[in-house]
Each structure stands twice: as structure tokens, then as C-alpha cells.
Amino acid sequence: MRIKSFGYNVKECFKNLWRNRMMSVASISSVAATLLILGIIFVLIVNISAMTQVAKDQFDTVQVYLDEGLSIEQIEDLGTKMFKLQGVQDVVFEAKADALEKMKLDWDQNGYLLDGLESNPLPNSYIIILDDINYASYIVTSIESYDGIEEVKYYQEVIENIIKITDVIRRVGLFIMVVLIAISTFIISNTIKIAVHARRREINIMKYVGATNWFIRGPFLLEGIILGVLGALIAATAIYFAYKYSYNAIMDQFYMFISAYLIRVQVIIKDVVFLFVIIGSGIGALGSIASLRKYLDV
Amino acid sequence: MLNVSKRYDNGVVAVSNMNLNIKHGDFVFLVGPSGAGKSTFIKMLLKEVNATTGKVIVDDLDITKLHRRKVPELRRKIGVVFQDFRLLPNKTVYENIAFAMEITEAKPRDIRKHVPMVLSIVGLADKQKMYPSELSGGEQQRVSIARAIINNPPILIADEPTGNLDPDTSKEIMKLLLQINRRGTTVLMATHDREIVNLMKQRVIAVEKGRVVRDELGGKYGYED
């Protein structure tokens, strides 16, 4: 589109927006509502993803208890075998004496109770640090098949649940997003349709004097995009304040316990605005092109 | 300029095997009863409908093979005047004409220069700030003629331009069309107006049931009904 016709477009489009201000307001609200819900889902997903990441980092170790009476060579042998498995980042040996010391520390002032033990009942163990949590079950089954292993302990259920929940939330969120975007596009296309219908004579004449389709679309396209972007900005503002409020509330309530995992307002709002403006203008453009199709076919 | 041979059907055969050649600079009347295929013929020239078979050649260009995106280009070469004027009621005379230029992305300076010029050709130089509703039918038709010729098209198609006008005004309009024709524009006019056709003594193409039944120079309307 050339600059000359751009002036024409802007003029026409604002005239129309004002002429149909009720419908314009309705469209803006619908986009804003859609994006608001979308934004809430987005914020939730982003935060849950961040939390699961943290959780995964905490649960990414596997403890392997070894049988009593293994020779040092056998223990070392097992260590190297484990290290070679795929997905293993590091293998750390924890001797039974060290384990007892650690337990004493954990028990704190009750640690003296352990002094009464005649022999150390704790086994030698290896702590395996996982590279990638998705290899966890493969590693566990592999190790369990080795000789000289007493028990393999790892937070399988916790990890699997976390993976499952994030997956479900992502899918449901995505589905809701798609439905909402479709609804908004439809509403915007209806608004534009009213503007188009009011000007169908003009469009018809434009076609006869040789206006290109893009020339005719221009003002309507701009109109749709403006509606979409305005809706997006309203939704982004609402999300900003709502998130800021809940973030502070959670901070006050739980101190650093959960809030450490939350993403800060400034970080998330940039993504939200970017995402909203793109989706908003996309909805607007799509809606106006859809509503014009019938009238351009002359 | 135009060499036509085409059949068009969609259940109804509106135009069948029509062969016509209209030369550059001609003034041609297209006459015939309603439903004879005059409008279909015009629509084919504007590529509003496509010929089913045959070729429509405008300005050495076979428009039956023309890509959809090139249609606006074709329409800029053809000025159109309608029976019902088709002016925009919320724009002034000046704006209505300037509109046709804005569409071609003309420079504002050229628009300011050309619009008054065309208005003086059609004799409405003093009415440029008026709205279509404030004008008489004849004046409105002049505005629509001005709009049709503003971009200097080589061809002007008038679809019953005098259909809604009284005889005296019609004659005025015809004078204007003839004047435009003398400047080198090919004029093709579809009409029912016997008196005007007989008066003008130009080439007459009579169409009936989608066929050319008569094509003569200096002709008469010729239906003795």
C-alpha cells in the first residue's frame, strides 16, 4: 500500500469506527475479554512451567542402595556402569559412615540417639544426578537389574505426576485459547460486516472504477486491526494490575515459600503485551478480511 | 479494438455466438428488448461475468484470460455510466469525481487540477460543492459521466444513461457523450430510447435473444412494434 492511499485509509477508518461506535465498543470488549481469559491461562501456564522446572531440579536425583559385603572393586565397578547410562550427569558415592553422619545432622539434637547403635545399619549408596528427568525410569530399571543392588529410591510418582499435570494444563489451555480466538474473530468480523454493509454501494462503485481489492480492504483492515489492538491493550493493562496484585498478595502470605518460584511482573508483562498485540491485530485482520469476501466478488 | 465471439450460459443462454468488432473511436448504440443480452454483453466487457466460450478482446488484450488481479487495470480503461447514476450520496460532486482518482492513487495535485477541468467539460463547474441530492437527474448523470472520464479511459460504456431522464435532458446528455466521442473516446451505449437512436444516426447494433440481428451504420432503432 502506498503512502498516498494510507492517508485515505486512516481517515475512512476512523470515520467508520465513530459511526458504529456501539459495535466498535462491543468488539473491543470481546477481544479484551478473550485476551483476558487467554492471558490468565497464559500466566498460569508460564508460572506452572517455571514451578515444575524448579521441582524437577529438586527431584532429579536417584539414590541407589548397595548390598552389604560388596568388595571395593565391585562397588567401583557398579559406579562406572551407572555413570555410562544415558541421562546420567554425575554419580556420587556415599559411604555408610558418611550416611550416618548426615542422618545425625538431620536429626539435629536427637542425633545422640544414633550414638547408641552397635553397628551402622545404613548401607553404602550411590547418588545419581540426572541430566534429563525423562530418562529417570529407564535408568531405574537398568540399575535394578544389576547385581549387588539392594534398593533404588527415587521420586518417581512425584515426577510423573508433575509431568502429567503440566501436560494436561498445557493442552486444555491451548484448546480454550483456540476456541476463544475463533469466537473473537467471529465477533469482529460481524462488526466490520456492518460497516461493510453500510458502504456496499461505495464498494460496488469502487470496483467499477477499478479499485484494487487491497485498496478497498485497506480501511476495513485497519479498522479491524485497531479494534483488535485496543482490545489487546485493555486486556494487557487488566492482566498487569491483576497479576501485580496477586503477586504481592502471595508474597505477603507465603513469604519466600512459593513466591520464589513466581515470575516477576515486569518479566511477564512484556511477553503478555507482545503476545496480545499480535493476537489482537491478527484477530482484527482476519475478521475484516472474512467479512469483506462476499462484497469484493464483483 | 474489440473482437467478440462468445457464448455464455448458466442454464440460460444470455449471449450466444456473438461476433462484433468495435473500432477505436466508434460511437455505437446497442439496442434490443429487455433480456436480449445487452447487460450481459456489458458485464463481459467489464469482466463482471466471464464468457463461457470464445474470446473478448479489449484494447488488444484477451480479457477472458485476464488474471483476477488484473481486473482493476482493465476497469480503469473503461469508464462506466449507469442508468441510476450510482453516485455516493454523502460526498459532494467534487468528492464523487475525485474519488475515482484517489482509487488510482493519483497525486493530490493532479486531482485538484483534473476534477475542475472535467467538471467544466460536463458543464457543472459551478456545482462542485453540492451533494447529489441537490442536483437534477440530468445533472447527476453529468456527474457520473465526469467520474467515468476523469481517468481518461479509451472506452466509455453507458448502460441506458438516459433511462431515467426526460427527452430534453436526454438530448443534452447525448450531446455530451458525442462531444466525448469526438475527443477520441470509444462510446458504447446500451439503450431503449428509440428517439435518441434515430436522432443520432450512429452505428446501431441490435441484439435479440443473445444474437446480433442487425449491425448498420447511421441506423435507426428499427423495431416496428
Higher pLDDT, A276 or A162: A276
pTM (two decimals) = 0.62
| pLDDT tens, position by position, B180-203 | 888 888 888 888 877 777 777 778
In terms of domains, do A175 and A281 share one?
yes
Residue among A2, A202, A208 minimizing CB distance to B88: A202
| Alpha-carbon gap: B118 to the closest alpha carbon of chain A (Å) | 16
Residue among B72, B74, B105 minimizing CB distance to A2: B105
Q: What is the pLDDT of residue A153?
A: 74
Residue B162 domain flag: yes
What mean pLDDT comes out for the span A51-65? Answer: 71
What mean pLDDT comes out for the span A214-221? Answer: 80
Residue B221 domain flag: no
**For residue A215, pLDDT beyond 70:** yes
Calculate ∠ Cα A221-A226-A230, nearest 5°.
155
B45/B28 Cα distance (integer angstroms): 14
In terms of domains, do A85 and A146 share one?
yes
CA closest to B88 among chain A residues:
A202
B70 touches chain A (CB under 8 A): no
| Alpha-carbon gap: A165 to the closest alpha carbon of chain B (Å) | 51
B144 touches chain A (CB under 8 A): no
* Chain B residues touching A209 at Cβ < 8 A: 75-76, 80, 99-100, 103, 147-148, 151
Q: What is the pLDDT of residue B113?
A: 81
In terms of domains, do A146 and A198 share one?
no
Is the four-CA dihedral B126, B132, B136, B138 of positive or negative sign? Answer: positive
Q: At a CB cut-off of 8 Å and minimum separation 6, what does B37 contact?
A: B14, B15, B18, B207, B209, B210, B211
Higher pLDDT, B220 or B75: B75
Which residues does residue A61 pair with via DSSP β-bridges, in sequence order?
A129
In terms of domains, do A124 and A18 share one?
no
Tell me the Cα Rg of chain B: 17
Report the 10 Å Cβ neighbour count for A166: 18
Are A212 and B72 in contact (CB < 8 Å)?
yes
- How many alpha carbons lie under 13 Å from residue B46 in its C-beta half-sphere? 27
| pLDDT tens, position by position, B102-127 | 877 777 788 888 888 888 877 777 88
Residue B225 domain flag: no
**For residue A20, pLDDT beyond 70:** no
Average pLDDT, chain B: 77
| pLDDT tens, position by position, B125-136 | 788 788 888 888
| Of the candidate ranges A17-26, A227-236, A268-277, B183-192, the one whose mean pLDDT is the lowest | A17-26
Confidence of residue B219 (pLDDT cuts 50, 70, 90): low
ipTM: 0.73
In terms of domains, do A52 and A64 share one?
no
The total number of structural domains that make up chain A: 2
CATH of the domain at B69: 3.40.50.300
CATH of the domain at A98: 3.30.70.3040
Higher pLDDT, A35 or A131: A35
| Boundaries of domain holding B64 | 2-216
Q: What is the pLDDT of residue A151?
A: 75
Are B69 and A212 in contact (CB < 8 Å)?
yes
* Chain A residues touching B110 at Cβ < 8 A: none
In terms of domains, do A147 and A169 share one?
no
Q: What is the pLDDT of residue A227?
A: 82
* Chain A residues touching B80 at Cβ < 8 A: 208-209
What mean pLDDT comes out for the span A113-135? Answer: 74
| pLDDT tens, position by position, A228-268 | 888 888 888 888 888 888 877 777 766 555 555 667 777 77
B147 touches chain A (CB under 8 A): yes
| Boundaries of domain holding A84 | 60-154
What mean pLDDT comes out for the span A176-186? Answer: 82
In terms of domains, do A166 and A225 share one?
yes
Q: What is the pLDDT of residue B96?
A: 81
* Chain A residues touching B157 at Cβ < 8 A: none
In terms of domains, do A205 and A137 share one?
no
Is the four-CA dihedral B168, B171, B175, B177 of positive or negative sign? Answer: positive
A75/B147 Cα distance (integer angstroms): 97
Confidence of residue B224 (pLDDT cuts 50, 70, 90): very low
| pLDDT tens, position by position, A140-175 | 777 777 777 777 777 666 667 777 877 887 788 888
Calculate ∠ Cα A212-A218-A222, nearest 5°.
170
A132/A146 Cα distance (integer angstroms): 21
What mean pLDDT comes out for the span B156-165? Answer: 81
Last residue of a domain, one of A154, A176, A192: A154
Q: At a CB cut-off of 8 Å and minimum separation 6, what does B67 contact?
A: none
B76 touches chain A (CB under 8 A): yes
Q: What is the pLDDT of residue B225?
A: 42
Q: Between residues 5 and 44 of chain A, which touch chain B (CB distance below 8 Å)?
A: 5, 8
Strands B155-159 and B78-81: parallel
Q: Residue B187: name the closest of B153, B220, B141 by CA.
A: B153
**For residue B88, pLDDT beyond 60:** yes
Q: Which of A206, A209, A293, A295 to mutate to test the interface with B (most CBs of B within 10 A)?
A: A209
Name the range with the highest mean pLDDT among A94-98, A133-137, B128-132, B215-219: B128-132
DSSP A204-233: HHHHHTT--HHHHHHHHHHHHHHHHHHHHH
Q: Residue B158: name the closest of B103, B84, B60 by CA.
A: B84
Q: What is the pLDDT of residue A1?
A: 43
Q: Between residues 191 and 210 of chain A, which touch chain B (CB distance below 8 Å)?
A: 201-202, 204-210
In terms of domains, do A114 and A65 share one?
yes
**For residue A68, pLDDT beyond 50:** yes
The packing angle between helices A156-198 and A200-208, to 10°, is 80
Are A210 and B76 in contact (CB < 8 Å)?
yes
Percent of chain A with pLDDT over 70: 83
**For residue B14, pLDDT beyond 80:** no
* Chain A residues touching B75 at Cβ < 8 A: 207-210
In terms of domains, do A39 and A174 share one?
yes
A3 touches chain B (CB under 8 A): no
In terms of domains, do A130 and A211 share one?
no
B99 touches chain A (CB under 8 A): yes
Report the 10 Å Cβ neighbour count for A216: 21
Are A201 and B74 in contact (CB < 8 Å)?
no
Are A211 and B108 in contact (CB < 8 Å)?
no
Q: What is the pLDDT of residue A140?
A: 75
Residue B43 domain flag: yes
The total number of structural domains that make up chain B: 1
In terms of domains, do A39 and A175 share one?
yes
CA closest to B107 among chain A residues:
A4
CA closest to B86 among chain A residues:
A205
Last residue of a domain, one of A107, A129, A154: A154
CA closest to B150 among chain A residues:
A209
**For residue B146, pLDDT beyond 70:** yes
* Chain A residues touching B107 at Cβ < 8 A: 4
Q: Which of B103, B150, B152, B159 to mutate to test the interface with A (most CBs of A within 10 A)?
A: B103
**For residue B150, pLDDT beyond 50:** yes
A281/A235 Cα distance (integer angstroms): 13
Are B88 and A211 in contact (CB < 8 Å)?
no
Name the range with the highest mean pLDDT among A8-22, A79-93, B6-20: A79-93
Calculate ∠ Cα B197-B17-B77, nearest 5°.
60
